[in-house]
Amino acid sequence: MNRVLVVLVCAVVGVTAGTLYLFSAYGPQLAHRLHYSGTDISLIGFTGSMGVALSGIPAGVVVDRSIPWAQFLGGLLISLGYFGLKAQFDSQFSSVGLSSTLTCLIGVGSTLINSAMIKCSAAMFPDNRGTATSFPVATYGLSAFAYSVTGHWFFGADTSRFLGYIASSALVICICGLPVIYYADKQQEVQQRGEDTLELEPYVSGASVVHASKSNMTKAQVLRSSRFWIVFSLLGILAGLGQLYIYSCGLIVKSLYHPSDENEINHAQSFQVSLLSICNCASRLMCGACGDFIANRLQQQRSWIVFVPAFVLLSVQVVCYFVSDYNVLWVSSMLDGVGYGFVWSSIPQLLLEYFGLEAFSFSWGFVNLSPILPGFLFTRLFGSYYDSNSTWDDIAKSKVCVKGNSCYNTTYRITFVFSSIALVLAVWINVRPYVQRRYSQVAQHS
């Protein structure tokens, strides 16, 4: 079978894995319909990310056993999640627990599909894994743009039909891609029978693995390494900051933009989600190339690349705090997309460089847990501040906030502190080898 065709199919199927980024396009409408508070809707969005994080290691086990089965199961879970949200929306059945469970299912399904497509792509081009895996990685980030544009074009402000569209299309795309993936998987098993199973987890960077550490470390050594916990903390803070804006963007739009037509609100939310998605996709592709350039051409450690997301996401906190005009909000969406994409592409490069390929599946699966606590804290803070500044609207029959950026900007004072800590960690992880080398030289001469 044509290997290029297989990678292209993986890229198309990979689009279904990134639908969590659509949350800001329908979340506010869901909250209005089901009378959820800002805290409630922030929690619901967060559980999707929690599903992604917690399913990282189990999804790797499923993918190692059967890529097609992981693909089908992932599509089924995503479809069930969105059909469930649609049923809730249509019946106006208000239950934060149920909505949270459904978004968690979507997160688990996303991880299964993304893991499967990355592994299948890498297996097709073992000598060019970086380029091959960059396609499903990129379409994961482009998913929100594709669904947001097509959904707005066909369904406008009809949230119910939009949710149904995501649910049905995700399952159909996964099923249509199954024959190609199944045949490629079986063909690969025949060719590589007796060889070690290739292990790749969700969100692997498009960067080449050629420069992974030559001295692979054991799992115990990884956990004992202080460098590992710095990377763990970096991913947790930076990913949590990126997710804060992704899941709160819809409420920010409603706070800054007050048109008389509800369709205009939906259009504005779709625009911000689309812009964020495009920048997310582009940055995932760029990060791999940047990492290779730093390592191959400049002969420097790849960890310098982590300065990009650290600085960009710190800038997002500043912009979100000061922006009071909706017409300038695109700057926040663009920066968050770039920063968030670089986070998920740069951290795998660091893990490969520091701990080697043999420990990669374990280290990557473990660090995927890091955004859970920061993500919960940040989204909870945003929701609580938003609710405290909201008042009951008899016409809308729900709480609304009309104070502009004062509805939420206290949150960004706090997140600015965390983003500053992440920047300090980025500095330390790069400067530390030079400090240690200098200390060793001084010790030798003393």
pLDDT score, position 129: 58
**Whole-angstrom distance, CA of residue 125 vs CA of residue 314:** 37
More confident residue, 417 or 208: 417
- How far is the CA of 368 from the CAs of 268, 282, 312, 371, in angstroms? 31, 22, 21, 7
Per-residue pLDDT of 275-295, as tens digits, reads: 998 898 888 878 877 877 887
**Whole-angstrom distance, CA of residue 266 vs CA of residue 44:** 19
Q: Which amino acid is at 292?
A: D
Residue 23 has pLDDT above 80, yes or no: yes
How does residue 392 score in pLDDT terms, banded at 50, 70 and 90? confident
Q: Are 132 and 198 in contact (CB under 8 A)?
A: no
**Structural domains for the chain:** 3-186+196-433 (1.20.1250.20)
Per-residue pLDDT of 148-182, as tens digits, reads: 888 878 887 788 999 999 999 999 999 999 898 88
Per-residue pLDDT of 28-87, as tens digits, reads: 888 889 988 878 888 898 899 889 888 877 887 788 788 899 999 999 999 999 999 999
Residue 63: partners with Cβ closer than 8 Å, 6 or more residues away = 70, 112, 115, 116, 119, 200
pLDDT score, position 198: 44
Exposure class string for 250-289: b at 16+ Cβ within 10 A, else e:
bbbbbbbbeeeeeeebbbbbbbbbbbbbbbbbbbbbbbbb
How does residue 300 score in pLDDT terms, banded at 50, 70 and 90? confident
From first CA to last CA, the distance across the chain in angstroms is 64
How does residue 231 score in pLDDT terms, banded at 50, 70 and 90? very high
Residue 307 has pLDDT above 90, yes or no: yes
Residue 212 has pLDDT above 60, yes or no: no
Q: Which helix (H) or strand (E) holds 164?
A: helix 159-191
Residue 147 has pLDDT above 50, yes or no: yes
**Whole-angstrom distance, CA of residue 137 vs CA of residue 341:** 10
Concatenated DSSP letters of 356-388:
-STTHHHHHHHHTTTTHHHHHHHHHHHHHHHHH
Residue 377 has pLDDT above 60, yes or no: yes
Q: Which amino acid is at 323?
A: V
pLDDT score, position 398: 65
Q: Are 158 and 34 in contact (CB under 8 A)?
A: no
